[in-house]
Amino acid sequence: MAEKKRKKVLGSLQPDVEDILHWNDLPENAFEPASTQEKESFIQDRKSVSYWKDAWRRLRHNKVAMVAMVIVILIGIYAFLGPYLVPYGYDEQIRGANNLHPWHYSLEDQERINAYMEEHNNTSNLSPEEAVEQAIAEAEARGEELSSIEIAKIRANAKTSQSSADTEVTEADAIKALGIKAKPFGYSNDELQRIADGESVFPHIFGCDTHGRDIMVRTMIGARVSMIVGICCAIIVLVIGAIYGSISGYCGGKVDTVMQRIVEIIYTIPEVLIILLLGATLKPILEDFQNSGDGFLQNMVTILGSNLIAIFIAFGLLYWVTMSRIIRGQILQLKQQEYVTAARALGAKGGRIIKRHLLPNCIGQIVTTTFLQIPSAIFTESFLSFLGMGVSAPMTSLGSMCSDALSGLTSYPYRLFIPAAILSVMILCLNLFGDGLRDALDPRLKK
Amino acid sequence: MEEKQKTGKLLEVKDLHVSFFTPAGEVKAVGGISYDLDYDEVMGIVGESGSGKSVEAYSIIGLLQSPGKVIGGSITLEGEDVLAKSKEEMIDLRGNKVAMIFQNPMTCLNPVYTIGNQLIEALKAHDKKVSKEEAAKRAMEMLELVGINNVEKRMKQYPHELSGGMRQRVMIAMGLICHPQLLIADEPTTALDVTIQAQILELMKDLQKKTHMGIIFITHNLGVVAEICDKVSVMYAGKMVEQGPVDDIFYKPGHPYTMGLLRSMPRVDAESYERLIPIEGTPVDMLNPPEGCPFAPRCEYAMKICLQKMPPYVELGEGHRAACWLRVQEQLEKEKAGQADGKPAAETENKEAGDHE
Amino acid sequence: MAKYILKRVLMAVITLFIVICLTFFLMNAVPGSPWLSEKTPTQATIDALNEKYGLDQPVIVQLGKYLGNMLQGDFGDSIKMQKDRPVLDIITTMFPISAKIGIIAIVWAILVGVPLGCLAAYKRGTWVDSLLRVICTLGISMPGFVVATILLYLLAGGIEGFKIFPTIFDGTWQSYVLPCAALGFYPMCYLSRQTRTAMLDSINQEYIKTARAKGLRNRKIIFKHALRNALIPVITYLGPQIAFTLCGGFVVETVFSIPGLGRYFVSSIQNRDYPIIMGTTIFLAAFIIVMNLVVDLLYKLVDPRINLSKGGN
């Protein structure tokens, strides 16, 4: 009974029944001691990967982040190389290209449309002024002069015929009736003529604005401004935040208390208001400064424009608080750990400890926070530009393009939606990539 | 007590396999462990961090989080197959028949609800009909039972207003409020001060005597095991390397890992020159578990066979078994000697029976 | 508790004082006088004007005077846009419209964003979660004017024969719909994301494990144990969001031509009407600072862990 039970228990417990079955097949030297070498080779250690390699591996597996990165790179190429490929300047006003749509009708089609419209609308279908002009021209051709009564009559006629919309044929109707299809990209009639003459003309892919400026080039320059603003702000935030945070965290005690009070105060200052205020007031101040001389700084101001400088100053004054808090928190946490104590015991100086021991340990969070400043800065910049407080004309940015296009929203929606789309996609992809970066660099945060 | 009269095993775990399916591959956290537990019995599960002891306990109570999954074996609680139960049935089981208390009483109580609220909630989860006053009364009785004074005041307090030991008492009260058959204690004393530890152990021993429930006591502290357990299972890298009554484990350890654990434990009666001997090396990578005995690389007695094959269990005494080639070797030698004497030992017979199957 | 409130109020007052000083000195640093852009006034006129508005005195005196006046509710008079009309009067007539839109926007953002965040956390890993994540990330990536113009174009006449809401703000309830929707979209997405993160954070806490071990139902675990803990950090995001919504109002009011304080503020900047700029900045800053203070105190009240008598964090 006991025997049987034990056997059953044994059977169920055995991890490898076969082992027992071939009890006597054990190799000759089975019970010899194993050498250290054998023991070492036994453990199939996973290759130890460096932090960055590991992070890169995680990032690469994050499809969303990778797609976002590719799009960001594409937008970067678009913004920085694009303007060299398009033969138009961002402030170049192309004659005859005013209000160009991003599509065009060939010259023949245009003639057909006009012919159709003329055919179906009698002349009186012209606007009153046009009708009057036409009548005057006709009269002049006949060598007569129209009296004001006649002009009034013609005008009234034109008005009545125009108000009877049923009989009117618009351009859109004509296009529909003729079955003409619009061809992609905008060309002015001038340019179409030149193409007909055998010249090759670069198209206005996104059309042109009221002043005949190529929208594509302008979006390229706008995206470039946005990216530069984003990166500069991120660097400013990083530098100020890191220095402030590490000093505050490392020194501790009274210094920390005072510095944290300052942070708390800055934290509650409404940034957007201050940026608007700065934008409003710095402009005349900087203009004054600009005219004061021809030094390096003055030139810098000229290049950047006062509003951009206002944005940078605002970021430098206000936006670093989050960064400094993160770094301070990290440093407080790391400060407790033994290796810092060890470094101190060995006589390392404060600055060296911060640089060599503390910062490398919070690098993941620093990189992520810095990176996520870029979309946030672009966001703020576009907001200011939209309110007319961004880069100064003729320089452009995506926000100010949207602002310019707002008045013609119903007739030319693409003028607003193209830069808006580029802007949104850019911020979206930067955000997505930033999220991916955070997951990759700080696996502890990953849920 | 009625529970005492119940026959059969309270809990039987057979050849349990639990894996975590991570992006990097399958991690076999538990690779085939078996044990059983009687009513009124305390079993200790000992092992270092990551040896799979908590995972094993979580699968009993159905708390395994994805990507963890039970992939083989069976768990039988009072004759019922736990793994076959539906989600709803598991919810009814948890806290009612089986209760669990956790390592860190600081984080295990919800900080935004009062002690009373959380206790009553535990009761109400399984007894819908109980009135508020009744529930509060029982909760207070429970708190008194676990040695908390001034219960009326405590009921209205938030967890952060109590000390660590007090909170662990609350956790225990919460676990016992529905009178479970089985209590799983996952390192309940690890996060506490030594003096508080002793108090909590004393309390659990006391309560066990009063309620006659079965307890699975998970710990990495052999001292705690000696204090409270009737039998012990030693786990290493997801495998149960040794199992037996608490005295056998302490006085006749059969596996080098158990020996290592014992040697690394401080003892009051040790001679002054005796030093604690740590177990060298680190545990194996559970992502690529080796073929042979997982402890082999750290084992001072490792043999060639250890690196090639997982050893089978060898019976060392009543309810005491170990999985080690050293013991197999001993058995084989005994067998040879027995054959020479013409008096085969019981163990050898058994082996031969296995051989001929 | 009283000590903590006192401390916070003191901090708020200091912050406000700094904002006022900053505003004041920036205004004073502006070269040239506001009169120059008018039809070249004579020196005598300028002097007279300077004297009238107190611009001939030292800066510190001017600041002191300004502060003193402000305490009596006198923010000065407009010097350009609505000449000689008191700034406070302008603010009090225009702010209610902005506030109304802002409040509706933030309320719908909370009422929709927080449950959506919970839903995403509850259904984490499913398509619901992914969809919500895409929408919310898109939402925090689109500047306010993009959302506003898209809504304006799609629902207010951009597409022929499809005009549900009026283009011009006329005070009817229909004309409130689009501005409030546009203004609340960002905070909604932001709160939803934060709620999701907080919920997941909370779900991974050990007390959730305890709750499960107790045999509680899933719904009770999520909505009793996880949500209450998750909402506490979410409250802290409300303060900045209120500020953000208020400033987002500048854009939305511009797009929808709403005669609110935001649009007026923007045009006052463009017109360099300094008393209005200062008055509005200080007023809005004070509003935001007070809201932050309220949210902060609310946070301390909701979380039982924080013992207010000991003075906060």
- Give the mean pLDDT of B312-316: 83
pLDDT band at residue A157 under the 50/70/90 scheme: low
- Give the mean pLDDT of B286-300: 76
Any chain B CB within 8 A of the CB of A26? yes
Q: How far apart are alpha carbons B265 and B234 in whole angstroms?
A: 15
pLDDT band at residue B12 under the 50/70/90 scheme: confident
pLDDT band at residue B1 under the 50/70/90 scheme: very low
Q: How many CB pairs under 8 A join B and C?
A: 72
Q: Residue A2: what pLDDT?
A: 39
Q: In chain C, which residues have their Cβ closer than 8 Å to the Cβ of B110?
A: 207, 210-211, 225, 228-229
pLDDT band at residue A21 under the 50/70/90 scheme: very low
- Give the mean pLDDT of B290-298: 79
Give the SS3 label for residue C169.
coil
CB B125 to CB C213 under 8 A? no
Q: Residue A14: what pLDDT?
A: 41
Q: Residue C306: what pLDDT?
A: 61
Question: B243: which strand partners?
Answer: B233, B321
Q: Residue A447: what pLDDT?
A: 37
Residue A233 has pLDDT above 60, yes or no: yes
**Residue reference for tokens 């204690």:** B185
Nearest to B327 by CA among B244, B222, B261, B265: B244
Supply B347's token pair: 């163990």
Q: How far apart are alpha carbons B207 and B173 in whole angstroms?
A: 10
Q: Which residues of C touch B (CB under 8 A)?
A: 205-207, 209-217, 220, 224-225, 228-229, 232, 303-305
Q: Residue A42: what pLDDT?
A: 62
- Give the mean pLDDT of B8-37: 82
* Residue A394 preceded by cis peptide, ω within 30: yes
- Give the mean pLDDT of B87-110: 83
Residue C186 has pLDDT above 70, yes or no: yes
Range from A282-286, A361-365, A410-414, C142-146 that averages highest in pLDDT = C142-146
Residue B342: partners with Cβ closer than 8 Å, 6 or more residues away: none
Residue B92 has pLDDT above 70, yes or no: yes
Residues 214-273 of C with CB under 8 A from A: 243-244, 246-247, 250-251, 254-255, 265-266, 269-270, 272
Any chain C CB within 8 A of the CB of B308? no
Any chain B CB within 8 A of the CB of A49? no
Residues 354-413 of A with CB under 8 A from C: 375, 379, 382-383, 386-389, 399, 402-403, 406, 409-410, 413
Any chain C CB within 8 A of the CB of B117? no
- Give the mean pLDDT of A59-87: 84
- Give the mean pLDDT of B12-30: 82
Q: What is the mean pLDDT of chain A?
A: 73
Residue B301: partners with Cβ closer than 8 Å, 6 or more residues away: A33, B256, B326
Please tell me which residue, A40 or A84, carries the higher pLDDT value.
A84
Contact A193, A110 (CB under 8 A): no
Indicate the DSSP class of residue B169: H
Residue B142 has pLDDT above 80, yes or no: yes
Q: How far apart are alpha carbons B296 and B286 in whole angstroms?
A: 14
Residue C271 has pLDDT above 60, yes or no: yes
Side chain identity, residue C305: R
pLDDT band at residue A17 under the 50/70/90 scheme: very low
Supply C139's token pair: 């939402």
Chain C residue whose CA is closest to B177? C214
Residue B63 has pLDDT above 50, yes or no: yes
Q: Could you tell me the CA-to-CA distances from C280 to C89, C109, C277 in Å, in that order? A: 11, 25, 5
Q: How far apart are alpha carbons C295 and C233 in whole angstroms?
A: 11
Question: B81: which strand partners?
Answer: B76
Buried b (16+ CB within 10 A) or exposed e, C57-74: eeeeebbeebeeebeeee
Contact A194, A110 (CB under 8 A): no
Lowest mean pLDDT: which of A22-26, B180-184, B294-298, C97-101? A22-26
Dihedral through CA B158, CA B163, CA B165, CA B166, nearest 10?
Answer: -40
Contact A64, A436 (CB under 8 A): yes
Lowest mean pLDDT: which of A76-90, A343-357, A423-437? A343-357
Q: In chain A, which residues have their Cβ closer than 8 Å to the Cβ of B327?
A: none
- Taken as a whole, chain C contains a residue count of 313
Residue B104 has pLDDT above 70, yes or no: yes
Supply A71's token pair: 């799009």
Q: What are the pLDDT digits (tens) for A316-332?
A: 777 888 888 888 887 77
Residue A12 has pLDDT above 70, yes or no: no
Supply B161's token pair: 């207003």
Other chains touching A, judged by 3 or more CB pairs under 8 Å: B, C
Q: Residue A311: what pLDDT?
A: 76
Residues 386-445 of A with CB under 8 A from B: none
Q: Residue A5: what pLDDT?
A: 36
Nearest to A422 by CA among A398, A442, A446: A398
CB B325 to CB A31 under 8 A? yes
Any chain C CB within 8 A of the CB of A329? no
Q: Could you tell me the CA-to-CA distances from A224 to A80, A82, A86, C247 in Å, in that order? A: 6, 10, 15, 26
Chain A residue whose CA is closest to B293? A42
Q: How far apart are alpha carbons A214 and A82 in whole angstroms?
A: 13
Chain A residue whose CA is closest to C158? A410
Q: How far apart are alpha carbons B186 and B205 in whole angstroms?
A: 15
Q: What are the pLDDT digits (tens) for A265-281?
A: 777 777 777 777 777 77
Give the SS3 label for residue A428.
helix
Q: In chain B, which residues have their Cβ closer than 8 Å to the Cβ of C303?
A: 112
pLDDT band at residue B2 under the 50/70/90 scheme: very low
Q: What is the mean pLDDT of chain B?
A: 80
Q: In chain C, which residues have their Cβ closer than 8 Å to the Cβ of B112?
A: 228-229, 232, 303-305
Any chain A CB within 8 A of the CB of B306? yes
Q: How far apart are alpha carbons A426 and A446 in whole angstroms?
A: 24
- Taken as a whole, chain A contains a residue count of 447
Nearest to C221 by CA among B151, A189, A415, B125: B125
Supply B117's token pair: 């609220």
Q: How far apart are alpha carbons A438 and A445 in whole angstroms?
A: 8
Residue B346 has pLDDT above 60, yes or no: no
Q: How far apart are alpha carbons B225 and B246 in whole angstroms?
A: 8
Residue A44: partners with Cβ closer than 8 Å, 6 or more residues away: B285, B288, B290
Please tell me which residue, A295 or B117, carries the higher pLDDT value.
B117
Lowest mean pLDDT: which of A293-297, B28-32, C213-217? A293-297
Q: In chain C, which residues have their Cβ closer than 8 Å to the Cβ of B171?
A: 210
pTM of this structure: 0.76
Other chains touching C, judged by 3 or more CB pairs under 8 Å: A, B
pLDDT band at residue A13 under the 50/70/90 scheme: very low
Buried b (16+ CB within 10 A) or exposed e, A202-220: ebbbbbbbeebbbbbbbbb
Q: How far apart are alpha carbons A37 and A245 in whole angstroms?
A: 49
Chain C residue whose CA is closest to A405? C149
Q: Residue A165: what pLDDT?
A: 46
Any chain A CB within 8 A of the CB of B9? no
pLDDT band at residue C310 under the 50/70/90 scheme: very low
- Residue C125 burial (CB < 10 Å; 0-12/13-18/19+)? exposed
- Residue B357 burial (CB < 10 Å; 0-12/13-18/19+)? exposed
Side chain identity, residue B149: N
- Give the mean pLDDT of B119-127: 84
DSSP-derived secondary structure for C181-245:
HHHHHHHHHHHHHHHHHHHHHHHTSHHHHHHHHTT--HHHIIIIIIHHHHHHHHHHHHHHHHHHH
Q: Residue C313: what pLDDT?
A: 35
Any chain A CB within 8 A of the CB of B34? yes
Q: In chain A, which residues have their Cβ closer than 8 Å to the Cβ of B354?
A: 7, 10, 20-21, 23
pLDDT band at residue A193 under the 50/70/90 scheme: confident
Residues 174-193 of B with CB under 8 A from C: 174-175
Q: Residue B354: what pLDDT?
A: 38
Please tell me which residue, B307 or A150, carries the higher pLDDT value.
B307
Task: Give ∠ CA A362-A237-A282 in degrees, rounded to 5.
Answer: 170
Cβ neighbours around B18 below 10 Å, total: 24
Q: Residue B168: what pLDDT?
A: 85
Give the SS3 label for residue A395.
coil
Between C12, C30, C270, which is nearest A388 by CB?
Answer: C270
Pick among B233, B299, B304, B357 to test the A interface (most A CBs inside 10 A):
B304
Q: What is the separation of C-alpha A54 from the centre of its chain, rounded to a whole number of angstroms?
A: 28
CB B99 to CB C213 under 8 A? yes
Q: In chain A, which residues have their Cβ closer than 8 Å to the Cβ of B313?
A: 10, 13-14
**Residue reference for tokens 């700029």:** C277
Q: In chain C, which residues have their Cβ closer than 8 Å to the Cβ of B63?
A: 209, 212-213
Pairing relationship of beta strands B231-236 and B42-46 according to DSSP bridges: parallel
Q: What are the pLDDT digits (tens) for C76-86?
A: 777 777 777 88
Side chain identity, residue A240: I
Contact C187, C106 (CB under 8 A): yes
Q: How many CB pairs under 8 A join A and B?
A: 97
Between A16, A46, A61, which is nearest B312 by CB?
Answer: A16
Q: How far apart are alpha carbons A18 and C120 in whole angstroms?
A: 50
**Residue reference for tokens 């037996």:** B244
CB B307 to CB A40 under 8 A? no
- Give the mean pLDDT of A349-360: 65
Q: What are the pLDDT digits (tens) for C141-160?
A: 888 888 888 888 887 766 66
Contact A430, A72 (CB under 8 A): yes
CB A3 to CB B350 under 8 A? yes
- Taken as a whole, chain B contains a residue count of 357
Q: How far apart are alpha carbons C156 and C163 in whole angstroms?
A: 5
- Give the mean pLDDT of B136-165: 86
Give the SS3 label for residue A158.
helix
Supply C72's token pair: 């009596």
Residue A152 has pLDDT above 60, yes or no: yes
Q: Residue B4: what pLDDT?
A: 44
Pairing relationship of beta strands B98-101 and B182-186 according to DSSP bridges: parallel
Side chain identity, residue A151: I
The strand ranges marked E within chain B are 11-22, 25-37, 42-46, 68-77, 80-81, 98-101, 182-186, 214-219, 231-236, 239-245, 313-317, 320-323
pLDDT band at residue C303 under the 50/70/90 scheme: confident
Q: In chain C, which residues have their Cβ closer than 8 Å to the Cβ of B156?
A: none
- Element (H or E) spanning A104, and its range? strand A103-104
Residue B332 has pLDDT above 60, yes or no: yes
Q: How far apart are alpha carbons B293 and A30 in whole angstroms?
A: 13
Distance from CA of B157 to the nearest CA of C (A): 10
Residue B10 has pLDDT above 60, yes or no: yes
pLDDT band at residue B344 under the 50/70/90 scheme: very low
Q: What are the pLDDT digits (tens) for C219-257?
A: 888 888 888 888 888 888 887 788 778 777 888 888 888
Nearest to A322 by CA among A379, A383, A370: A370
Q: What are the pLDDT digits (tens) for C37-53?
A: 555 667 777 777 667 66
Supply B191's token pair: 């996060």
Q: Could you tell me the CA-to-CA distances from C310 to C5, C58, C298, C306, C313 in Å, in that order? A: 11, 45, 16, 9, 9
CB C304 to CB B61 under 8 A? no
Share above pLDDT 70 across residues of chain A, in percent, rounded to a whole number:
67
Q: Residue A357: what pLDDT?
A: 64
Distance from CA of A337 to the nearest CA of C (A): 23
Share above pLDDT 90 across residues of chain B, in percent, rounded to a whole number:
0
Between A3, A21, A29, which is nearest B354 by CB?
Answer: A21
